[in-house]
């Protein structure tokens, strides 16, 4: 006999665990299935876990700001303390360097509308606050083999600073915290359980089949499969009306020792599209470094998410770490790559898909582009609200669901994350 549930959530990363928690808290029977061996063991474990607010669209800024308020006191949001310990929000602030043609005016306009505090800083003010940082203007970002890669700066640049930004100290533990709370509310977890079919009848979901031969009967399925989510959408046959596509993108993130004057006590998150890098201090006297996908760097799309190079490369290491070293001149560069490679599920416009689908009962939280870990608390609420609206007879495609943010009292328009939207104009970057 097949198992039964109100909802099956596919994926036990941070977002899938947060959705499982929110639905279980609202009284639904939920089974979360994941093909992997542990909660948060996929893309979540590779996340830089940055909590930042500088997005290109109003609803994205508002979502990040509302989510940060929930991360600040995760135990209160979950209503329970995890016996394994709780992930913590480490506040460092975030400095965003200027570059020609930046969307700074638009972003600061969103900050003003939402209520995100910020400070505009000139180059001299940045040097006074962070003397370990070079404030040279190196734009545009250059490939490592470009003869101009090591050229002198052509001037100095300022930027803006958001003091409320930071990072989560352990992203995998954070996913575990959500799942712990979900199970406390009655949810079930099935690891090493790969979905191989989405059952449907008369245009509606009826359940899923697993690779083990088992089945789960349910009227609602939520695809939060990360790099595998495109395959799951194809299984469900829901890709035909989607105007925004998404696919796996391989990314590399590296770790070096912190430079003098840029550790946990005196450092900050740095977003640097001027050079094509981002970095942040981390616990244990290290710095985490990633890239911002500048035009000079090839994007490494992956056709089969089960088959990719899981090891960081020398080329990626030199590209990311040498760029960061221009901004942090005292930073020591390791003799070999220290870091990881993982897949992110990237959308066409780098904005996620939090939506229903053309199949009744099938929902998606996809195309998260490596930067949506921070929004896990609100994404759980988004999917719960989408489902409840559909059960009230509301057609989200025609009458988009609005979600009220408890922190601001402002509404988030979920049409901003629709599969049917026109591509958003964004900075085009993963950014942690």
Q: Which residue has the higher pLDDT, 429 or 378?
A: 378
Task: Give the contacts of 133 (CB within 8 A, at least 6 positions apart).
Answer: 95, 126, 127, 262, 270, 327, 328
Q: By mean pLDDT, which of 37-51, 160-174, 413-427 is the weakest?
A: 413-427
The average pLDDT across 81-101 equals 97
Tell me the pairing of strands 7-10 and 119-121. Answer: unpaired
Kindly tell me if the per-residue pLDDT of 184 is higher than 90. yes
Can you tell me the distance from the alpha carbon of 22 to that of 381, in angstroms, rounded to the nearest whole number?
A: 6
70 SS3 class:
helix
- What's the pLDDT at 426? 53
pLDDT at residue 432 greater than cutoff 70: no
Q: What percent of the chain has pLDDT over 70?
A: 98
Q: Count how many Cα atoms sit within 13 Å of the Cα of residue 57 in the half-sphere of its side chain.
A: 19
Q: What is the dihedral of CA 176, 181, 186, 188, to 10 degrees?
A: -10
| Coil, helix or strand at residue 45 | helix
Continuous segment of H or E residues that includes residue 383: helix 376-391
Task: Give the pLDDT confidence score for residue 157 in this predicted structure.
Answer: 98
CA–CA distance, 36 with 39 (Å, rounded to integer): 8
Q: 159-170: per-residue pLDDT in tens?
A: 999 999 999 999
Taking the C-alpha atoms of residue 38 and residue 45, their distance in angstroms, rounded to an integer, is 10
pLDDT at 335 over 90: no
- Cα–Cα nearest to 290, from 305, 306, 303, 273: 273
* Domains delineated in the chain: 3-86+170-245+349-417 (3.50.50.60), 90-162+247-346 (3.30.9.10)
Phi/psi at 282 (nearest 5 deg)? -135, 170
Q: Confirm if 39 and 67 have CB atoms less than 8 A apart.
A: no
Residue 314 has phi, psi (to 5 degrees) of: -60, -40
> pLDDT tier at 260 (50, 70, 90 boundaries)?
confident
DSSP 99-127: -TT--HHHHHHHHHHHT---EEE-HHHHH
Burial code of 102-119, b = ≥16 C-beta within 10 A, e = fewer? Answer: bbbeebbebbeebebebe
Nearest C-alpha neighbor of 366 from the set 180, 250, 227 = 227
Q: 3-class DSSP state for residue 178?
A: helix
Asked if residue 26 lies in contact with residue 15, where contact means CB atoms within 8 angstroms, the answer is no
3-state secondary structure at position 76: helix
Q: In the predicted model, what is the mean pLDDT of residues 286-297?
A: 95
pLDDT tens digits, 5-32: 999 999 999 999 999 999 999 999 999 9
**Exposure of 281 in the CB half-sphere (CA atoms within 13 A):** 26
Is residue 90 over pLDDT 80? yes
Across all residues in the chain, what is the average pLDDT?
95
């Amino acid at each position: 006999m097949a198992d039964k549930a109100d909802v099956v959530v596919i994926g036990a990363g941070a977002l899938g665990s947060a959705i499982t928690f929110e639905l279980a808290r609202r009284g639904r029977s939920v089974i979360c299935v994941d093909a992997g061996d542990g909660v948060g063991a996929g893309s979540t474990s590779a996340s830089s876990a940055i909590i930042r607010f500088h997005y290109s669209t109003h609803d994205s800024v508002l979502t990040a700001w509302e989510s940060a308020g929930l991360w600040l006191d995760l135990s209160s949001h979950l209503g329970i303390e995890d016996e394994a310990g709780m992930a913590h929000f480490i506040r460092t602030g975030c400095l965003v360097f200027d570059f020609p043609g930046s969307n700074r005016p638009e972003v600061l306009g969103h900050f003003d509308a939402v209520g995100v505090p910020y400070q505009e800083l000139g180059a001299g003010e940045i040097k006074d606050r962070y003397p370990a940082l070079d404030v040279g203007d190196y734009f545009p970002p250059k490939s490592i083999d470009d003869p101009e890669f090591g050229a002198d700066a052509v001037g100095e640049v300022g930027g803006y600073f958001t003091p409320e930004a930071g990072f989560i100290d352990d992203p995998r533990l954070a996913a575990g915290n959500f799942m712990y709370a979900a199970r406390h509310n009655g949810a079930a977890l099935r690891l090493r359980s790969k979905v191989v079919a989405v059952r449907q009848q008369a245009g509606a979901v009826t359940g899923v089949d697993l690779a083990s031969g088992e089945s789960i009967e349910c009227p609602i399925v939520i695809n939060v499969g990360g790099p595998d989510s495109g395959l799951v959408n194809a299984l469900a046959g829901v890709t035909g009306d989607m105007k925004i596509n998404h696919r796996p993108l391989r990314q590399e993130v590296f770790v070096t020792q912190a430079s003098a004057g840029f550790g946990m006590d005196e450092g900050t998150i740095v977003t640097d599209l001027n050079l094509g890098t981002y970095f942040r201090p981390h616990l244990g006297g290290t710095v985490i470094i990633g890239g911002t996908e500048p035009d000079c760097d090839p994007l490494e799309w992956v056709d089969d998410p089960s088959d990719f190079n899981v090891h960081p490369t020398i080329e990626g290491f030199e590209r990311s770490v040498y760029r960061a070293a221009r901004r942090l001149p005292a930073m020591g560069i390791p003799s070999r790559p220290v870091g990881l490679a993982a897949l992110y599920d990237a959308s066409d416009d780098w904005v996620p898909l939090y939506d229903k689908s053309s199949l009744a009962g099938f929902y998606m939280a996809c195309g998260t582009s490596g930067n949506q870990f921070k929004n896990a608390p609100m994404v759980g609420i988004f999917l719960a609200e989408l489902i409840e609206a559909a059960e009230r007879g509301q057609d989200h495609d025609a009458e988009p669901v609005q979600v009220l943010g408890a922190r601001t009292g402002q509404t988030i328009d979920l049409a901003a994350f629709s599969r049917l939207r026109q591509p958003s104009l964004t900075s085009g970057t993963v950014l942690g």
